[in-house]
Chains A and B, each alone.
Chain A
Amino acid sequence: MSNTEHPSAPPMTFAERHASQIRQVRLYAHMFRGSFSSMLGLALVIAFLFLAAFGPWIVPYPEDTLGAVHMGSRLLPPSAEHWFGTDEMGADIFSRVIVGARTSLWIGIVITGLGALVGVPLGIIAGYKGGWVRACIMRVTELFLAVPGLALALAIVASLGPGLTNCMVALAIVWWPGYVRLVEAKTLAVKEELFVESARSIGARTPWILWHHILPNCLSPIIVKMSMDMGMAILAAAGLGFIGLGAPPPAPEWGAMVSVARSYMPDWWWYSFFPGAAIFLTVLGFNLLGDGLRDILDPRSHTR
């Protein structure tokens, strides 16, 4: 530490010690602010996180989110009292959509988190070790990628039985291979770098190299992918909910709400419109955010 060498100098503040990182973050923030779509994505995600955190306390009819029945106010159109109208149980759709944000956030975090937790280590190991370890891991990965995700998830849910937890498990099972492929490719590139070779030559052990050199250099694409995947996982889970294999009613899950609402088409259009719009805006937000993050963190990668 520099302040021990110069006892007369005042101890360095946090800002001084991390000056270069702070400059970097400032630059990122500046670039991010310059893009309208990135800021829109950030705003949508913040709104979503806010609703997920405080939803149950700010909704006008909290009891409606738990399956309360008001037969007197069935299927009312949107009004000042019920902004998004009411459903076939007389429950306030606005309240149910807002509380649904929490379910969706949970779904997104679990699927993306599990996917990354399994996929990233496997990818790093496959890329770094090479040889038969890599061959094994990549074969299995490619196998999972050979079947379209939603079809595979449907089969897994059919085997496990319907329900929100099983849906999340199924989607996590089909989600990790994407991370393996991403991280493996990145690791292959990073391990050829000089700093990895020098670390090895001064006797650093493999786990240390993986943790301190390989992982930090793979982090940007992982962050970008996780942001995108939050949206895509929510979308996929909503799809399974729509099919009828997800959360059973009256749980306030957006996909399941659209599914029930389908039988009340076309006269009661608001019933399916608002939960679907919530899914769309949430997924859009995470996609725009991920896109914006890619532009600043990982500018060389192609848009896909």
Chain B
Amino acid sequence: MLSFTLRKLLTVAGTMLGIAVLTFVITNIAPGDPARLVAGPNATEDMVETIRSEYGLDRPIVEQFVIYMKDLMTGDFGTSIVSTRPVLDELLRYAPATIELVLVAMLLGIVVGVPLGMLSAVYKDGPIDHVTRILSISGVALPAFWFGILMQLYFSVELGWLPVSGRLPLVARPPDMVTGSLLIDSLISGNFKTFNSALSYIILPAIVLSFPCLASILRVNRAEMIEVLQSDYIVAARAHGISSRRIVAIYALKNALLPTLAMIGLRFGWMLGSTVLVETVFDWPGIGLYAVSSALASDFKPVIGVTLLIGFLFIIANTLVDLAYAWIDPRLRRA
């Protein structure tokens, strides 16, 4: 297991390096003059020249690449043009909100998706199965931003149950930062009022973000359960008179969970990508919204910073899933 873990960590380092190269390529694919793009349409020739030398754009491409990589290694992600602050500082400020949102959504997807998948496998072709099928097929096809708007219209405007957007009311004092998650931090400090408030703000974006994830977890879990429930050891268990509930919830679910776990890892990355939409709809102050507002302002460094961070988080999640896989199923450690 240790050598497996070490090999995985090496792969993580390699992939991160690759992503850094990829982002450099993206920065340089744009036809035309990047310095002019940064300077804006009304810049004079002198201003463009100044920017060119300031950003090191007048140097050979290989040298630019070396500088870029060196900067990344030392944690220098450049400076945002809009806020004139280092991108790294802003990423660290916005990341906790996104991570909290994605984790809550993930939890929601698992807690709802796995039991529903299980139920629809047990009652295959029954009414529950039909309802979950509609849910799982439409879940992937729903445009997150539109679904979010509908949820806002119904639950926030029509019923007035939940706040429309944001992370906390403007007047509320956020709890002292410990983990960066408002939910956990407010609980630690015993501030239940803030906790309730934070919870009411996160529910809608979390539901919207988790819906496609829930749908695919449901589908995979259902398909796996149906297959597992037909296998010999389940038949044997039934023959031994073990209760149906025990068979399904323990014996069958354990084996069906492995592919579900792979799907969870895959969907984690997908959700990180979708935060750019969901955070825009709900004005959620995370890295997704940060990337979008920077992209709209032609502020390029933050966008690259967010891409790197999202890639990094995704790789970490995938590695954790791989490790969990190997921990559960020792046969995979040799691969």
A residues whose Cβ falls under 8 Å from a Cβ of B: 37, 139, 142-144, 146-152, 154-162, 231, 235, 238-239, 242-245, 255, 258-259, 262, 265-266, 269, 272-273, 276-277, 279-280, 283-284, 287-288, 291, 302-304
Contacts and interface: CB of A to CB of B under 8 A. Distances in A.
Q: How large is the interface on B (under 10, 10 to 19, 20 to 34, 35 or more residues)?
A: 35 or more
Given A151-B276, A258-B149, A262-B149, A291 B269 contact: no
Nearest to B271: A148
Contacts of A276: 143, 145-146, 149-150
Contact of B269 (A148, A259, A303): A148
Contacts of B141: 231, 235, 280, 283-284, 287
Given A155-B304, A287-B137, A142 B270 contact: no
Contacts of B195: none
Contact of A245 (B23, B157, B296): B296
B291 A151 contact: yes
Contact of B295 (A144, A149, A157): A157
Nearest to A303: B223
Nearest to A302: B223
B31 to A, nearest CB: 8
Nearest to A150: B273
Contacts, number: 157
Interface of B: 15, 18-19, 22-23, 26-27, 29-30, 37, 133, 137-138, 140-146, 149-150, 152-153, 157, 216, 219-220, 223, 259, 263, 269-270, 272-274, 276-277, 280-281, 291-292, 294-296, 298, 300, 303-304, 306-307, 310-311, 314-315
Residues of A contacting B: mostly: helix
Contacts of B219: 303-304
Given A148-B269, A243-B292, A143 B22 contact: yes
Contact of A150 (B276, B281, B294, B300): B276
A244 B145 CA distance: 12
Contacts of A139: 18
A77 B52 CA distance: 52
B30 A280 contact: no
B92 to A, nearest CB: 18
A143 B22 CA distance: 8
Given A159-B29, A302-B223, A149 B138 contact: no
B223 A258 contact: no
Contacts of A287: 137, 140-141
Which of A158, A238, A303 lies at the interface centre, i.e. has the most chain B CB atoms within 10 A of its CB? A158
A161 B30 contact: yes
B223 A151 contact: no
Contact of B280 (A243, A280, A291): A243
B237 to A, nearest CB: 24
Contacts of B295: 154, 157-158, 243, 245
B300 A159 contact: yes
A154 B280 contact: no
